[in-house]
Amino acid sequence: MNSKNYRGEKMPKKTKSRTKPKIRPKIRSKSKSKKTSRTKPKSISKPMSQKSIKSISKSRVTNQLVEKIVIEVVGEEAIPIIRYLKGKTNISEFKIAEAVKEEIHKTRNILYRLLENNLVSFKRKKDKKKGWYIYYWTFNQKRVKDLISSQKKKRLLKLKERIEREKEGNFFVCRNKCIRLNFDQATDFSFKCPECGSVLDQENNAHVIESIDKEIKGLEKELKAMKIIV
């Protein structure tokens, strides 16, 4: 039954309006676009400041080189102890031995070698019950940087000595590259390879000098970055 308006005119049949559903998605899409536009800048990381870059690079260097420097100056067997002592202070030598699953005598030996390089420090306390002294150990994290610079300076000195020898001396090799001899050594073997017997020829060591020079410059740059006077 058709409804009439107040004038008595017939009203058209009501049709379902689709305008509102159309409008609502538009409103929602706008709100979503606003949200995405607001969240995008948050997801994009801002360029890091020079200070934060230096702090991160410093921590990365420490994490990468601590174990390497320990292996160089003490040995690989000290790594489990260093790993256990990191972030801890005044740890009993018996607890350390138990944690690394090593005999107490061997653990003490490694700790003393670490002590020689100032990588650890200790406090001695007397056990009231047993009457003997127990040593409590702490890893010296700050000492690592000094050792790194010390090792780099030693390496730098050796490279400078070697590059002088390469520039001043003459070196001889065979075609098979069995051995590399200086002039005096080549003379002793009548310029014949002691390994394969082939004739020794003078080597063009320009590439060797270039490689050493490149490493020297790299080490000098690293030491300057660590504020070490070369």
Q: How far apart are CA 65 and CA 145, in angstroms?
A: 9
Q: How far apart are CA 127 and CA 132, in angstroms?
A: 6
Pick the CATH number of 51-141 from 1.10.357.10, 3.40.50.2300, 1.10.3720.10, 1.10.10.10: 1.10.10.10
Q: How far apart are CA 70 and CA 141, in angstroms?
A: 11
Separation of first and last alpha carbons in the chain: 103
Tens of pLDDT along the chain (230 residues)?
445 555 555 555 555 545 444 445 444 544 444 444 444 444 333 444 444 434 434 434 455 678 888 998 899 999 999 999 998 999 999 999 999 999 999 999 999 999 999 999 999 998 888 788 889 999 998 888 888 888 889 999 999 999 999 999 899 999 999 999 999 999 999 999 999 999 999 999 999 999 999 999 999 998 888 764 44
Q: What is the pLDDT of residue 52?
A: 41
Q: What is the pLDDT of residue 115?
A: 94
Domain ranges of the chain: 51-141, 145-225
Q: What is the pLDDT of residue 230?
A: 40
Q: Output the CA–CA distances (angstroms, integers) from residue 110 to 141, 154, 226, in the order listed.
A: 17, 24, 29
Distant-in-sequence, close-in-space partners of 220: CB < 8 Å, separation ≥ 6: 156, 230
pTM: 0.55
